[in-house]
Amino acid sequence: MTGGRRRKQHFSRIHAFSCGKASFRGDHSLIGGPGFSRVVYCNDPECFEASLRNYAGNYVRSTKYTLATFFPKSLFEQFRRVANFYFLICAILSFTPLSPYSAVSNVLPLVVVIGATMGKEAVEDWRRKKQDTEVNNRKVKMHQSDGIFEPTKWMDLKVGDIVKVEKDEFFPADLILLSSSYEEAICYVETMNLDGETNLKLKGASDVTSSLHDDASFQDFKATIRCEDPNANLYSFVGSLELGDEQYPLSPQQLLLRDSKLRNTDYIFGVVIFTGRDTKVIQNSTEPPSKRSKIEKRMDNIVYFLFAVLVGLSIIGSIFFGIETREDLENGKMRRWYLRPDDTTIYYNPKRAAVAAILQFLTALMLYSYLIPISLYVSIEIVKVLQSIFINQDLHMYHEETDKPAHARTSNLNEELGQVDTILSDKTGTLTCNSMEFIKCSIAGTSYGHGITEVERALVWRKGSPLAREVPEINGQVEEFKKEKPLVKGFNFVDERIMNSNWLNEPHADVIQKFLRLLAICHTAIPEVDEETGRISYEAESPDEAAFVVAARELGFEFYERTQTSISLYEFDLSGKKVKRSYKLLNILEFSSLRKRMSVILQNEEGKLLLLCKGADSVMFERLAKNGIEFAEQTKEHIEEYADAGLRTLVLAYREINEEEYVEFNEKFMEAKNIVSADREEMIEEVAESIERDLILLGATAVEDKLQNGVPECIDKLAQAGIKIWVLTGDKMETAINIGFACSLLRQGMKQIIINSDTPENKALEKSGDKTAAAAAYKASVLQQIAEGRQLLTSSNENSEALALIVDGKSLTYALEDDVKDAFLELAIGCASVICCRSSPKQKALVTRLVKTKTGSTTLAIGDGANDVGMLQEADIGVGISGVEGMQAVMSSDIAIAQFRFLERLLLVHGHWCYRRISS
């Protein structure tokens, strides 16, 4: 492959995963026991031992039916409708002599109705089948023999096959990474289809296989992997690799999951360990639920009522018929002589009047069957299909930039759109664009950046202060700037004091230099040089990180290369000269949601050891040294201002380290990295904690996650229509509240009820290690806050004030418990807006279920990522946004749209008309 080995880079010192020979501890002792019994024969899937195990093939299907199950399953779906079941009974009876009309006139309409509906189901399933066929027939290079890799269909892969996956290809099954185009055998993986996250994840192979860099090296490769059985947990894996007589541990760091994509890496070699239905992504998928609209359920009730009337009429008729028949031959007289009761069959026999009455009852059931109109169902099906076409063809819901129209994926929920009472929405990527822009920063206690965010406009407007004074001047600057310079993705910063190297004239130029240098160095991004233009772009693990590197480049500190153990920049020195500098990279202490910070340790050209660190204000300020808090007060004020403006903030700090301290730290760090046990992460964190202290503050950054076009207006319209909107997000509370104001969810004069369980007392209890006491304290605190909120609700109802409820993720865990959820829901329903922060995908689904089942009103869930799938499937109507986060949400939705703002037209125009047409 061209350029296959162009990036021989040593990343072992950069990334915190095991690169030495690790020890076996903890979970690895379970291998071979129940739940850990899988054995994979690498490069020998056809061997006798492998055939005994009979593992599943790699064929996958997402269809509702197969050829064998289509008729039974589809017929069951049809006869769930009461009317269809009734007509089936009538059709069976029409073949008996009881029938007052020919069988054809009864059977034909039923066959047409059921045939048409089954045809619609078949077409919808056929589309899924085509998608499956496309996936199963994708090609991947597989090792045949003698080091030759041939393209093979995904569905032909077996457990134990060695495959070569190339850049931007999807992984065909769950693989164990053996080696890659990087000398250190690392690779970058995009897991958007699995967890909705757009950032890249870093994976690394075991040292023992990392030298297998070319096709020929697999000619005689044989190994055995023993690992856990197939399960749904995406983030755990326990296994061991036996090569020769040695055993090497395997962890999630070596696991590449099906449906994730290889990025920034020319190729990888991997061995297939889970195929088809055993893969983690398929284990996580749920059967598509069968949703029925309320009109359909109401029609069933009407049919029950009409059936009761029908039975009543038939019973009364048959009783009178029986009495008349019994008296037909009284005293030898024939009253109904035309029926010839003296020479008749059982139907009119006066001597068996009771039997005649029963048979007459069955005839009457068929005769009066027109009370229940079979044609109504046909009309409704036709109307629903036509309405779906109206939605699909609506130009007002077509998004030109992405070329995506609206798409009604199921036609039986259209009329529900007009009845929606509560909308449950995701935030990132649904209300916002999920593209970060560097807009402001605070350096050495001075705030830089003139940009005005959507949130600031809303903030200034709601505070009632005129924006006129500052806007023209700033907007003039912004406009002028835009004329001079084309807009750069991720960079929306305007401030002449720093731009065009004017920062050299600022009072704290040395601090600004360190600040910009930190932005250019403290990250795990990879530079990509465009062959034609020579322009450098960056692939980063998160959109925030990309924005920082781009900002550093635009302000004169351009990161352009990672080599074996160094990172290289073009930067300005304090005399204003542009110089090339290289920094020796020693360690990267990675970001995690628990640590809330990341650091790099490096050595500069003068031989000084530096630690550069960026992280959340909550963890950074407590790690500052006594002599490092010079600008702390001003920086805190700026951070609060930025948070009020809806911006995401990070604090930047650094320290110098002496040689002895670093040597001691590095020994402990390497030791912690090479341990394989459950507490490995904790040990790494403990070592990192010991060096990330006594920092000197440089400043803070602020990036904006921009709102999608038209979101505030859309939410405003929906609120006017009396629809309640809940936002369920994984973001922190401050950001969620600010976005709430920006998109008109929270309004001026609204009273906020905040349920937050992170009190100092609760935190102290948690740190003491008594989990039961901590849980009880958290629950009591949540209950108390809900009770206070309900009191406030009662008083506000009298004064007709609008309330907003804001809940954090930990409180939500307790609020959803069986004995609390009713009180929580009562409070939430009384509020005009509800925002749930830091909520997990499972919590999103649970909240949706709670609202749907307890209120009985129609719920609509809208989201764009795989983490919203549970919520979309749980709601009465699931709307997927075909945005940047893969197609998982769209595949699980009932209706797909390209932008949140189209929801207004979907509900208020199409919903209204669909309901009206169906009702008529």
pLDDT of residue 164: 94
Phi, psi of 497 (to 5 degrees): -65, -25
Task: Specify which residues 614 forms β-bridges with.
Answer: 598, 652
With beta carbons less than 8 A apart as the criterion, state whether 736 and 692 touch. Answer: no
With beta carbons less than 8 A apart as the criterion, state whether 433 and 707 touch. Answer: yes
Residue type, 215: D
Max mean pLDDT among 337-341, 360-364, 530-534 falls in 360-364
Of 421-430, 559-568, 712-721, 815-824, the one with minimum mean pLDDT is: 559-568
Chain mean position to CA 395: 28
d(CA 735, CA 567): 33
Of 104-113, 274-283, 341-350, 386-395, the one with minimum mean pLDDT is: 341-350
- Is residue 466 predicted with pLDDT exceeding 60? no
d(CA 399, CA 419): 25
With beta carbons less than 8 A apart as the criterion, state whether 431 and 711 touch. Answer: yes
pLDDT of residue 141: 93
865 is in an annotated binding site: no
Q: How confident is the model at residue 679 (pLDDT cuts 50, 70, 90)?
A: low
With beta carbons less than 8 A apart as the criterion, state whether 506 and 555 touch. Answer: no
Residue type, 891: M
717 is in an annotated binding site: no
- Is residue 16 predicted with pLDDT exceeding 70? no
With beta carbons less than 8 A apart as the criterion, state whether 149 and 215 touch. Answer: yes
pLDDT of residue 10: 45
651-667 per-position pLDDT tens digit: 999 999 999 999 999 99
d(CA 422, CA 851): 8
Q: Locate tokens 């916002």: which residue?
A: 432
pLDDT of residue 329: 67
Reading the block at residue 612, the tokens are 């550069």
Where does CATH 3.40.1110.10 sit in the chain?
A: 436-466+486-705
Write the DSSP symbol of residue 729. Answer: -
Q: Locate tokens 């629809």: which residue?
A: 723
- Please name the residues in contact with 97: beta carbons below 8 A apart, sequence gap of 6 or more: none
818 is in an annotated binding site: no
**CA angle in degrees (0–180, nearest 5) for 620-443-688:** 25
Mean pLDDT of 157-170: 92
Q: Which of 426, 495, 705, 876 is catalytic?
A: 426
404 is in an annotated binding site: no
pLDDT of residue 343: 60
Question: If 0-12 CB within 10 Å is exposed, 13-18 middle and 19+ buried, where does residue 584 land?
Answer: middle
86 vs 273 pLDDT, higher one? 273
Reading the block at residue 855, the tokens are 């209120």
Of 116-130, 288-302, 467-481, 567-581, the one with minimum mean pLDDT is: 467-481
pLDDT of residue 401: 86
Q: Which of 163, 175, 132 is nearest to 273 (CA)?
A: 175
Enumerate long-range contacts of 196-199, CB under 8 Å, 24 or more apart.
196/429, 196/864, 196/865, 196/866, 196/867, 196/868, 196/885, 196/886, 196/888, 196/889, 197/865, 197/867, 198/434, 198/542, 198/543, 198/884, 198/885, 199/540, 199/541, 199/542, 199/543, 199/545
725-747 per-position pLDDT tens digit: 999 987 767 778 877 877 878 87
pLDDT of residue 477: 47
d(CA 347, CA 324): 12
pLDDT of residue 288: 65
Q: How confident is the model at residue 462 (pLDDT cuts 50, 70, 90)?
A: low
Q: How confident is the model at residue 130 (pLDDT cuts 50, 70, 90)?
A: confident
Please report which helix (H) or strand (E) contains residue 778, including its range: helix 771-799
**CA angle in degrees (0–180, nearest 5) for 569-262-268:** 95
514-526 per-position pLDDT tens digit: 999 999 999 888 8
730 is in an annotated binding site: yes
Reading the block at residue 731, the tokens are 């973001």
614 is in an annotated binding site: yes
d(CA 317, CA 906): 50
pLDDT of residue 339: 66
pLDDT of residue 869: 81
d(CA 281, CA 359): 58
Q: How confident is the model at residue 464 (pLDDT cuts 50, 70, 90)?
A: low
| CATH code matching the domain that covers 38-57+157-284, chosen among 3.40.50.12240, 3.40.120.10, 2.70.150.10, 3.40.50.150 | 2.70.150.10
428 is in an annotated binding site: yes
Average pLDDT, the chain: 83
- Please name the residues in contact with 650: beta carbons below 8 A apart, sequence gap of 6 or more: 544, 614, 615, 616, 700, 701
pLDDT of residue 21: 44
Of 373-382, 465-474, 834-843, the one with minimum mean pLDDT is: 465-474
Alpha helices (runs of H) in 22-81, residue ranges in sequence order? 48-53, 70-78
Cα–Cα distances (Å) from 794 to 96, 184, 408, in that order, read 66, 64, 41
483 vs 674 pLDDT, higher one? 674
Q: How many CB atoms lie within 10 A of CB 511?
A: 21
130 is in an annotated binding site: no
pLDDT of residue 6: 41
351 is in an annotated binding site: no
463 is in an annotated binding site: no
Q: Which of 606, 605, 602 is nearest to 589 (CA)?
A: 602
- Please name the residues in contact with 103: beta carbons below 8 A apart, sequence gap of 6 or more: 91, 94, 95
d(CA 118, CA 147): 50
Where does CATH 2.70.150.10 sit in the chain?
A: 38-57+157-284
Q: How confident is the model at residue 409 (pLDDT cuts 50, 70, 90)?
A: confident
pLDDT of residue 492: 85
**Extended strands (E) in 778-849:** 803-807, 833-836
608-649 per-position pLDDT tens digit: 999 999 998 888 998 999 888 888 999 999 998 887 777 888
Torsion sign over Cα 763, 766, 767, 770: positive
The model's pTM is 0.69
427 is in an annotated binding site: yes
- Is residue 25 predicted with pLDDT exceeding 50? yes
Mean pLDDT of 6-14: 44
With beta carbons less than 8 A apart as the criterion, state whether 903 and 897 touch. Answer: yes
Reading the block at residue 740, the tokens are 């709430």
pLDDT of residue 826: 92
Alpha helices (runs of H) in 562-710, residue ranges in sequence order? 617-620, 632-644, 659-673, 680-691
Mean pLDDT of 105-114: 84
pLDDT of residue 159: 93
Task: Judge whether 426 counts as a catalytic residue.
Answer: yes
Residue type, 783: L
Give the largest CA-CA distance in the chain: 132
Where does CATH 3.40.50.1000 sit in the chain?
A: 405-432+707-919
Q: Which of 822, 846, 844, 845 is nearest to 835 (CA)?
A: 844
Mean pLDDT of 746-763: 79
How many separate helices (H) and strands (E) can be counted in the chain?
28, 35
Q: Which of 847, 892, 845 is nearest to 866 (CA)?
A: 892
Torsion sign over Cα 802, 808, 814, 816: positive
pLDDT of residue 179: 93
153 is in an annotated binding site: no
Q: Give the CATH class of 436-466+486-705.
A: alpha beta
pLDDT of residue 80: 79
Q: How confident is the model at residue 356 (pLDDT cuts 50, 70, 90)?
A: confident
Cα–Cα distances (Å) from 767 to 379, 592, 762, in that order, read 65, 19, 9
Of 53-57, 168-172, 175-179, the one with minimum mean pLDDT is: 53-57
Q: Which of 320, 267, 164, 385 is nearest to 918 (CA)?
A: 385
799 is in an annotated binding site: no
d(CA 295, CA 911): 13
308-328 per-position pLDDT tens digit: 999 999 999 999 988 888 877
Residue type, 467: L
d(CA 280, CA 258): 8
Reading the block at residue 105, the tokens are 């006139």
Mean pLDDT of 204-216: 87
Q: Which of 127, 387, 425, 410 is nearest to 290 (CA)?
A: 410
CATH number of the domain located at residue range(s) 405-432+707-919 in this protein: 3.40.50.1000
With beta carbons less than 8 A apart as the criterion, state whether 42 and 162 touch. Answer: yes
- Is residue 54 predicted with pLDDT exceeding 60? yes
d(CA 506, CA 78): 76
Reading the block at residue 473, the tokens are 């001047």
Max mean pLDDT among 221-225, 671-675, 761-765 falls in 221-225
DSSP conformation letters of 535-553: -EEEE-SSHHHHHHHHHHH
Q: Is 286 helix (H, G, I), strand (E, B) or coil?
A: coil
Phi, psi of 858 (to 5 degrees): -75, 130
Reading the block at residue 756, the tokens are 């937050």
Chain mean position to CA 210: 33
With beta carbons less than 8 A apart as the criterion, state whether 380 and 873 touch. Answer: no
496-548 per-position pLDDT tens digit: 999 888 899 888 999 999 999 999 999 888 888 877 887 888 877 777 888 99
Q: Locate tokens 């036609």: which residue?
A: 411
- Is residue 9 predicted with pLDDT exceeding 70? no
Residue type, 308: A
591 is in an annotated binding site: yes
- Is residue 887 predicted with pLDDT exceeding 70? no
Q: How confident is the model at residue 5 (pLDDT cuts 50, 70, 90)?
A: very low
**CA angle in degrees (0–180, nearest 5) for 62-63-65:** 145
Reading the block at residue 730, the tokens are 């994984």
Alpha helices (runs of H) in 224-352, residue ranges in sequence order? 280-284, 294-326
33 is in an annotated binding site: no
With beta carbons less than 8 A apart as the criterion, state whether 266 and 181 touch. Answer: yes
